[in-house]
Amino acid sequence: MGFNPLSMVVGAATGFLTGGPVGAAIGGAAGALGGTNNATSVVGNLGNTASSGWQSSILALQDAQNEQNAIYSLQINQQASQFNNMMDEKSEMMRESNALRDVALEQKKADTQVMKKFIESII
C-alpha cells in the first residue's frame, strides 16, 4: 500500500461526480491510499454518508420551501376569493341602488303627470 497519484485523481473525479466537493476530497484521499483496501472503504463509506446527509438536508430545505409556497398560494387564493365576494356584493348593491333610483324617477314623472291633470281639472 503506497501513494498512488493516478488513483488519487480517479478517486477525486469519481467522488466529485457522486458526492460533490466533499466526495471529491474523500475519493481523492481514498485513491491516494490505495483504492480498495479496508481503510479506504471506510473513508469512502464516510464520504458517502456525509454526501447522503448533505443531500437529505437540501431535500428537507426544498420541502420546507414547497410547504411555504403552498401556504402562500392558499392565502393568496383566499384573499382573491374574499375580494371577489366583496366585489359581487358591491355590484349587487349598485344594481339595487340603480333600480331604486329608476323607480324614484318614474314616480316623480307620474307625480308630475298627476299634478298637471289636477291643475287642468281646476282650470
CA 60 to CA 101: how far, in whole Å? 61
Q: Which segment of 52-56, 59-63, 70-74 scores lowest on mean pLDDT?
A: 52-56
CA 13 to CA 25: how far, in whole Å? 9
43 within 8 A of 26, measured Cβ to Cβ: yes
For 22, residues 6+ apart whose C-beta sits below 8 A from its C-beta are 15, 47, 50, 51, 54
| Cell reading at 12 | 477525486
Above 60 in pLDDT, residue 36?
no
> What is the DSSP secondary structure assignment for residue 68, as one 8-state letter?
H
Q: How many C-beta neighbours within 10 Å does residue 26 have?
A: 25
Above 70 in pLDDT, residue 33?
no
Q: pTM for the full model?
A: 0.45
